[in-house]
A = this chain, B = another copy of it.
């Protein structure tokens, strides 16, 4: 079951982004349909992560004339993740969460006890990923998953 919903103003895709996505799809012989555009707008218009159910809800709310179905949402999401236009986070129980890949790398700290989350800026993460790269040649993609643990308050 999903919990939070983003009810902010409806965002249209920024023009450059739209062009880039259209080109990427065209190159694969795929269509940028009204449904897919609405799904993209829901994802790009949400400041955080959003799940399939909420994407469906947002589109139905804000584009009542557009036909839309959960199957279409899931199919579009798989496509967009495949094309690396959207990042997927599957962590813990509950539905997968999605966000624009263009948002750039950022890591979340999540407290297992209180559930709060914090953004972790680049410095510390970069030090860690740099040492993994140096040691093992492994390019860690820490932005794909939040880091779980206990926050300073809950440790006490």
Interface stretch of the complex, out of A23-31, A42-50, A60-68, A141-149? A141-149
Interface stretch of the complex, out of A10-18, A33-41, A69-77, A85-93? A85-93
- Chain B residue nearest to A124 (CB atoms) is B131
The answer to the question of A3 belonging to the interface, with a C-beta cut-off of 8 Å to chain B, is no
A132 CA / B111 CA spacing, docked (Å): 13
- Chain B residue nearest to A144 (CB atoms) is B148
The answer to the question of A140 belonging to the interface, with a C-beta cut-off of 8 Å to chain B, is yes
Instruction: Give the interface SS of chain A, mostly helix, strand, loop or mixed.
Output: mixed
A131 CA / B92 CA spacing, docked (Å): 25
- A109 x B136 contact (CB < 8 A): yes
- A138 x B149 contact (CB < 8 A): yes
Could you say which of B127, B132, B139, B150 contacts A139, with CB atoms under 8 Å apart?
B150
* Inter-chain contacts of A132 with B (CB < 8 A): 109, 120, 124, 147, 149
- A148 x B150 contact (CB < 8 A): no
A152 CA / B118 CA spacing, docked (Å): 30
Mark A82-110 against chain B: 1 for CB-CB distance below 8 A, else 0.
00000000111100000000000000010
- Chain B residue nearest to A137 (CB atoms) is B152
Which A residues form the contact surface with B (CB < 8 A)? 90-93, 109, 111-112, 118, 120, 124, 127-128, 131-132, 135-142, 144-145, 147-152, 155
Which A-B residue pairs are the 6 nearest by beta carbons?
A137-B152, A140-B149, A128-B128, A139-B150, A141-B149, A139-B149
